[in-house]
Structure 1
Amino acid sequence: MIDTLSFRSVLDGVPQRSHAEILQLRKQRLNPALSLSYQEPLKITRGEGVWLYDEQGRAYMDMVNNVCHVGHCHPRVVEAGQAQMARLNTNTRYLHDNIVEYALRLTATLPSSLSVVFLTNSGTEANDLALRLARAHTKARGVVVVDHAYHGHSPSMVELSPYKFNGKGGEGQAAHVGVVEMPDVYRGMFRDGSAAGQEYGRLLQPAIDGLRGQGTTLAAFYCESLLGCGGQIALPDGYLPEAYAAVRAAGGVCLADEVQVGFGRAGEHFWAFEAQGVVPDIVTMGKPIGNGHPIGAVVTTPAIAASFVTGMEYFNTFGGNPVSCAIALAVLDVIAEEQLQENARRVGAFLMDGLRQLQQRHACIGDVRGRGLFIGAELVRDPAARTPDQPRAKAVVEAMKARHVLLSTEGPDDNVLKIKPPIVFSRANAEEFLDKLDEVLAAF
């Protein structure tokens, strides 16, 4: 075991620079496309649970880090990584217990048809590999995606991410990609009705027909189980059953992107797609799977996995290595032993109730939505017209940061407060957040 003092001696060799020096070096030596949060960026040096600490030891409540799923620097997860790294780290060309144990443990959380696991280094890699699987199985190329979706930063995934290809610097929609409207029952074309989910689901067929009209057959439908960049949107009831039926009738496969929302965050279900009563053909995972350690996964059916056996080897140098698998196993242990899925359900419900109470006092909160600890609060100028209020949302984020609470914004109009803290987030944390948000909104 590597002790804390050894780590400290390594870290002590890194010069501690001022904010200005780091900013200057970032400009000189790092990719200029790298972004920073907040008007005055924070220098964060330590994390623990739901808290991040700056170089002066000031604590900030982290309301947006869905990557450190079971809390920043969870001791059980850190210890698992340290112990395995001190013993062995190699690749999957050797037999090792960790990878098969993880495959068994992971598939035990999923419907029985989803039984074959591929391990990767990130959610982007997982979504990219899933596209190869879908195309190998269907012998088709076309993909339908949901507007404003983000599925990763590789070239193939930017092509499937309207959030990117229709944004600044984007190259627009590729010919093999169809886009359907977000199933947004607050500001979309179908609102508030019990049939809205089915109505949005029926939009898949025109998109499939549009691809077919250009000579492109359908390989896959990519859909996040809860929409992140789209504005923290929970899919309306009936959406995925309707959409999946259209996709399968066209010969395509259905992919649930759980990169942001899996592993119990949704509260009532371990996987957010379960709330729709469907079973995808492929599920992709990332971010929370390793609590910040770079690991991702694709889980699919034996039939789709068999279609990928073409004679070309699939090998990923780091994917499925013993250290990553040890960390991922520890994450599953912590979720189960600390009952964090139930915590996400209980605290998430309390938080949404509290936000809806604030909505009664502050007309700028137009909508509160989400599942578990994946929540959005949409800020508007006019509640009746549901006009987005991006300036107020940005101002709220800065004002909350001044009160040591870290938030961010999301959505097509960047007016949705996104709330997705580590799922160790407690009721006391929620009460503190709600009190501070009430104070901030009252000041506008």
Structure 2
Amino acid sequence: MVSTGATVQAGEDIAHLGSGASVHVALRSADGPAAPRLVRPEYAAGWLALTADPAPLLGLPAGSDRTRERDLLDRRGAAFATVQEHYYANPPRIERGWRHHLLSTEGRSYLDIVNNVTPLGHAHPRVEEAVSRQLRRLNTNSRFHYASVVEFTERLAGLLPDPLDTVFLVNSGSEAVDLGLRLAMGATGRHDVVALREAYHGWTYASDAVSTSLQDNPNALATRPSWVHTVDSPNSYRGRHRGADAVRYGPEAVAVIDDLAASDRPAGAFIGETFYGNAGGVALPDGYLAEVYAAVRRHGGLTVADEVQVGYGRLGHWFWGFEQQGVVPDIVCVAKAMGNGHPLGAVITSKDVADRYRDQGYFFSSTGGSPVSSVVGLTVLDTLRDEDLQGNAVRVGGRLKRRLEALADRYGIIGAVHGTGL
């Protein structure tokens, strides 16, 4: 049976249906029950047992959806380096998304609370239209002169306090962190870096070197290069100092920074997320970054803020995580949310620090700041503003947190509720 809203008998010419028509094909025995057109996924196996695969009749490959999905997963494992992994042991096949939903090929809709690169939601029409329009016009590298890269970097710099007024555009958070560290090393002439434990910063050489998350790399702390020095994770819930005792993390980090300087290896940079991302959405203790930043600068170093996961309005009350700490870093690294899934990252610093990079040669990224990337960046900023998504993070995140805190009051198994905004 073939149906398109009205029943069409098998063998009947359906060419007259025209482009865009929805065609449903079902093959069953004459005396068998008619399967519903749509069923819940948990009932699918039972109904599939009462139907046959119509694919051969339509000139399509035979085989059940489940067989084809397993074959696709096996092909992924054969060609796509397995160290890249995938979510879930038996992952659904996700081919579509809309706003905050992901849609599987089995027809199931999922609320997406995992994704960290699409702050506007999936398939946002404003982004799609902007990208399509720009791709029809031009996409090239940023050494050519065009308006969108100027407009985007002006907008981006305008979101940051003085003296952060100069922008480098790249393709990812890993590249942004790598460049941020190179800027600090070049400006100070020092290569020692202080980093937080339990942190993840990326997969390039430099960003991986300062990544200390044991969850991402069980050997992280034992395999850091000699120029990386770590300080205790200022985790007020799971760390060494908990609750009110978390104020001790700041002075301890300052002591490490002072000791490095005393041993004639003053840090050229301190890098840290301004609000813990991978380590559990935990806020740093109040005043922590102010103490650490002051110590680094006292010895001539620069401070690098990793805003890749926590910046761009997601905290709700603050556009940048460093605002929550009441500090201004020397270098800010950002990506993920900037492009709503399009590969886009940036490093923002002062003109003085940026100009010192000349001592290391030129900087160039083939697609960082391309016309399409710049248009995507502008469109994301416009949409964040026009749809009040930072305000939405306050409202929805606040409601979620209040309800979770209410559960924590009722159930002792809940140890803490962390986070701000979304």
Alignment partner, residue 362 of structure 1:
411
Alpha carbons 2:234, 2:284 under 8 Å: kept: yes
Provide the alpha-carbon RMSD of the alignment: 2.0
Does 1:20 find its partner at 2:70? yes
- Runs of 5+ in structure 1 lacking a partner? 7-14, 374-444
3-state SS, counterpart of residue 241 of structure 1:
helix
- TM-superposed CA distance for 1:191, in Å, is 2.4
Take 1:110 and 1:71, find their aligned partners in 2: how far apart are those partners?
Answer: 24
Structure 1 or 2, whichever has the larger Rg, is 2
Residues 280 and 418 in structure 2, CA contact (< 8 A), matched pair in contact too: no
Number of the residue aligned with 1:167: 217
- Post-superposition Cα deviations, 1:46-95, rounded to whole Å, max 9, x if no partner, equal 00110000002211000121201111111111111111011100111211
Letter in 2 for 1:163: S
What is the deviation of 1:192? 2.1
* Of 73, 96, 114, the match for 2:146: 96
Q: Which residue of 2 aligns with 1:179?
A: 230
Q: Which residue of 2 aligns with 1:72?
A: 122
Q: Counterpart in 2 of 1:284?
A: 333
In 2, Cα distance between the equivalents of 1:19 and 1:215? 59
Return the letter of the residue paired with 2:408. Q
How many aligned residue pairs are there? 359
Partner residue in 2 for 1:325: 374
Match of 2:304 among 255, 271, 281: 255
Matched, 1:116 2:159: no
What is the aligned partner in structure 1 of residue 389 from structure 2?
Answer: 340
Q: Distance in 2 between matches of 1:344 and 1:158?
A: 30
Cα offset, 1:166, TM superposition: 8.2
**CA distance in 1 between partners of 2:296 and 2:377 (Å):** 32
* Residue aligning to 1:188: 239
Cα-to-partner distance string for 1:300-324 (whole Å, 9 max, x where unaligned): 0111112112271211111100000
- Maintained 8 Å contact 2:197/2:233: yes
2:250 paired with 1:231: no
- 1:354-395, Cα deviation, whole Å (9 max, x unpaired): 10011122222100011111xxxxxxxxxxxxxxxxxxxxxx
Contact 1:259–1:286 (8 Å) recurs in 2: yes
Per chain length, whose mean CA-contact separation is higher, i.e. which structure has more relative contact order (CA < 8 Å, sep 6+)?
A: 1
Contact 1:158–1:165 under 8 Å retained in 2: no
Deviates more, 1:209-218 or 1:183-192: 209-218
Distance (Å, rounded) in 1 between the aligned partners of 2:173 and 2:216: 21
Match of 1:83 in 2: 133
Confirm or deny: 8 A CA contact 1:114 1:281 kept in the other structure: yes
| CA–CA distance in structure 2, aligned partners of residues 296 and 308 of structure 1 | 18
Structure 2, unmatched stretches of 5+, are 1-18, 21-60
Match of 2:56 in 1: none
CA contact (8 A) 1:196 1:236 kept: yes
Deviations 1:161-180 (A, max 9, x none): 01169833645222111111
Partners in 2 of 1:166 and 1:329 — Cα distance?
32
- The CA deviation at 1:189 is 2.7
- Poorly superposed stretches of 4+, deviation over 6 Å: none
Compute the displacement of 1:226 (Å). 1.3
- Higher strand share goes to which structure? 1
**Identical aligned pairs, as a percentage?**
43
User: Normalized against structure 2, the TM-score is what?
Assistant: 0.81
What one-letter code is carried by the residue in structure 2 that aligns with 1:183?
Answer: P
Q: Give me the whole-angstrom Cα distance separating, in 2, the residues matched to 1:166 and 1:99.
A: 34
CA distance in 2, matches of 1:212, 1:149: 23
Q: What does residue range 391-406 of structure 1 map to in structure 2 within 5 Å?
A: none
